[in-house]
Structures are given as C-alpha cells and as structure tokens.
Structure 1
C-alpha cells in the first residue's frame, strides 16, 4: 500500500468544500485532473476530480 503525504491548506479547503473531514485523509496522488486521498481509519482510497 502506498503511504500518504500530509495535506496542504489548499487540499484541506478542497476536501472541506467537497464535504469531507480533512483530518481523516492523507494525499497519495496529485495530478492535473484529480486527487487521490487515503482515508486513514478505513484504508479506502478516495478519488476526486479537481
């Protein structure tokens, strides 16, 4: 499993705008089209378009 990185302020605001609690996520991948976040407690991967 990939290890996640801490979120930047921009990513925290983005997740809050999408309706997610930012403290529960780590960033796995950041591309021009989407983000991939790892939910810390469940281990599930969340893919969100920018």
Structure 2
C-alpha cells in the first residue's frame, strides 16, 4: 500500500491506549526517506489522538 502512497491500518483499526509508548530508533546520521518520514508523521499523529 505504501507504493500507492496510502497509509492504512492493517488490522482494520485500533484504540489508543495511554499506557503504551512507541520508540523509533535510527542512526543519527541517517537521512530519513520521504516514505519513512510519512510513516513517522502518521504514527505521531495517530498517537496524539
């Protein structure tokens, strides 16, 4: 689905649970690709809801 530029929820949806945290780890010197940046932005936006 990323090939088409769409981000989808693979399991049909989710509920935000406040007791969980997400960590994204990558080398500091690495430039993030546009696709990876889109996934990170989507995760941050989804977690903020």
| Fold agreement, TM-score > 0.5 | no
Bigger Rg over Cα: 2
Highest RCO, 1 vs 2 (Cα 8 Å, sep ≥ 6): 2
Bigger helix share: 2
Bigger strand share: 1
TM-score by length of 2: 0.31
